Amino acid sequence: MVTFKERAEELAVNAKRVKGNNVYETLAKEFGISKRLAGNRFKSLFGMPVRDFISKNIEPSKEEFIDMIIKADNFESLYKLSGVNDMKKVTKLLNKYFNQSNFFKVRANLIAKVPIKDYIVTREDNESILISQILGDGSIERNAGLKIEHGYKQYDYLKFKIGLLNKAYPKTNGLESIRKRTVFDKRTNKTYYSFTYRTGEVLKSQLTKIQNRTLKENIFNMTPLGVCLYFMDDGYFHISKKYNVCELAFSAINEEKKEILIEYFKTYGYHFNNYNNCIALNKKISIIKFINDFIKPFSYMLPKCMEYKYDYKDIVG
């Protein structure tokens, strides 16, 4: 049996944010009381409202705080991202981790000093990185720059790509060029967040070269690293335990693109099936081999948020 006090403390201690913590709501539902009564009990037991309790106990790690600072545009947005219910505590965290309370100075120093992992990238991979992005989640802008956009949950994946581009093309912009984008969807009545990155105009000659080639020439110039990145963008891996089937696929509606991809993968010994909106492998052994050939060699540098794309343990054995 779990008592009200034990459950209240568990919920409050494990809460990751002050606003929208749902502690009172959960307590009310689980113990069959009103939200107001749950709040009154909490305040009596702990001597403060749940928001103050959570704020007092929330303290992001230095690594988490660095990510928040990079994402934030100013001190106000950092305060909101931190989940802390006290601006003074945010200032204390700046002083604690960086010996500096000025948000803009800390952010400038962080962007200049953010370590870029020393990825093992060959010269042949450099162009393939660009091709994978043009085929996937990137686009070439009018100023001959490359733009990449990812959803809120793939922020670490975007940072990984920036590090990869910086390694391949050192003059491209760094993390300081990440911008947060907010979109309100009238159909769902929800607000969605994403992050965009622009390389700048330093890739004009490389991107022009790619644009002047045919689609087939570009696809056939992809290296295994390029395939890995393209799969992370537009590929998916699905397992249905109910029907005992699995599928590894690249989303593609354009028929020409699908046919070229099928031809390209045949040169690696893989025979994809052509469906309406994708090309796919449906045999377990082929899927496992594909992941081992194109994804696993680069898994050491892929962020954790992308593991779901290539985790095949549920179809082994």
pLDDT in tens, 77-101: 888 887 776 788 888 888 888 888 8
Radius of gyration of the chain (CA): 24
Least confident piece of the model among 88-97, 109-118, 235-244: 109-118
User: Residue 212's pLDDT is what?
Assistant: 93
Residue ranges per domain, the chain?
4-57, 62-113, 123-213, 219-315
pTM of the complete model: 0.68
Q: What is the pLDDT of residue 25?
A: 93
Q: Is 107 helix (H, G, I), strand (E, B) or coil?
A: helix
Choices 3.10.28.10, 3.30.70.3270, 3.40.50.10330, 3.40.50.2300: CATH for 219-315: 3.10.28.10
pLDDT confidence of residue 87: 83
Give per-residue pLDDT as tens, 161-220.
998 898 888 888 888 788 888 887 778 888 888 889 988 888 999 999 999 999 999 999
What is the reported pLDDT for 120?
A: 67
Burial group, residue 195, by CB count within 10 angstroms (0-12, 13-18, 19+): buried
Check residue 29 and give its pLDDT. Answer: 92
* 3-class DSSP state of 146: strand
What are residue 180's DSSP bridge partners? Answer: 195
Nearest to 125, CA basis, from 80, 167, 72: 167
- Look up residue 127 and give its two tokens: 């162009």
Q: What is the pLDDT of residues 2-49, one digit of tens each?
A: 899 889 888 988 887 777 788 999 999 999 999 999 989 888 988 888
Establish whether domains 123-213 and 219-315 are of one fold. Answer: yes
Residue 137: burial class (beta carbons within 10 Å; 0-12, 13-18, 19+): buried
Superfamily classification of domain 123-213:
Homing endonucleases (3.10.28.10)
Half-sphere exposure of 145 (CA within 13 A, CB side): 14
Average pLDDT over residues 267-291: 93
Rounded CA-CA distance 272/279 in Å is 6
